[in-house]
Structure 1
């Protein structure tokens, strides 16, 4: 399976608490719910397009427990996200969880087990949110595709996807677009950083030396 990461970001890279004030207040974060003013049909279409491709779901424990508190109660068969999350195999990365209560859930406790999941047949193993897990997967080079929705907000605080200790990475842009609400969407695959030349200006003309 291909491992794909899906998340919402602010312009300054924060991914904490996008859905509401109580979603994740850890570390004193009090700016939750920053996605809400920009959600709409275009946002919904992008998110639905993610879940149509999902064959299995991989979550960090905090995101898993947050999803568990909401999605099993959504029983409308027309709700694509709920139908997929409730029916598909789910994997939760945790070293302490022993008895997950959401149906079709298996606990995995390390990068090696996730690497083994990728070797199984299927289409996409999707990670949603799960900041700490996403960083570990990025560090291990296990993410095949990044699907990022960026919102026109800066918060100055909160958990970030890309932090200084993570390895530098270049990306190839597979898709990009903007929505009328101001959000932007990018689909990226990781690639090696290619050393470049020097940016210079000669006789008023800029060029790469």
Structure 2
């Protein structure tokens, strides 16, 4: 397995089964071990998102995201350049897991605080020369900072992508198993939850510039949707 160096810029891509990129996100490596790749970004990190996602944020209309999934089902969508906004992100991605654990941090006085944990259900990692590929499977688990409560998110969108065939029966079975694994990890306080205090205290290394993506020939800059 290719290893990345601490501080190195890597690109996380969501790649549709057709081979087309659905999104791209520039991150910096915090640690890369056999257990998991840990990567992060601050506000200002470069991303590329489906143009309809950016429109949903600009218009304050979440229903436009449904149009984005409809476009995915037809294989016709466009990406727009964007920048990550508002939160610092710390991501923990085991190579074979059908999920990643993410922590989002927001301003708090002169510092930052952990806003919430966020389990994103997605394909296992496929390493590339410049980062890793996966594919977001829509449904998420949002966990309070102190790990005492949680709730499922985007179940409606998950049902919609299931109807469209974007998430296959095989992938659905993998998501169901991953849900149980993530909840067991939370209950057992394993994975990143085993060291929740250290995660809560984490802050972006200010010596690192915000990571940048390789730039296409032409693109339209927009504001990226923030996690959670």
Q: What's the TM-score, normalizing by structure 2?
A: 0.28
Question: Max radius of gyration: which structure?
Answer: 1
Q: Which has the higher contact order (CA 8 A, sep 6+)?
A: 1
Q: What's the TM-score, normalizing by structure 1?
A: 0.30
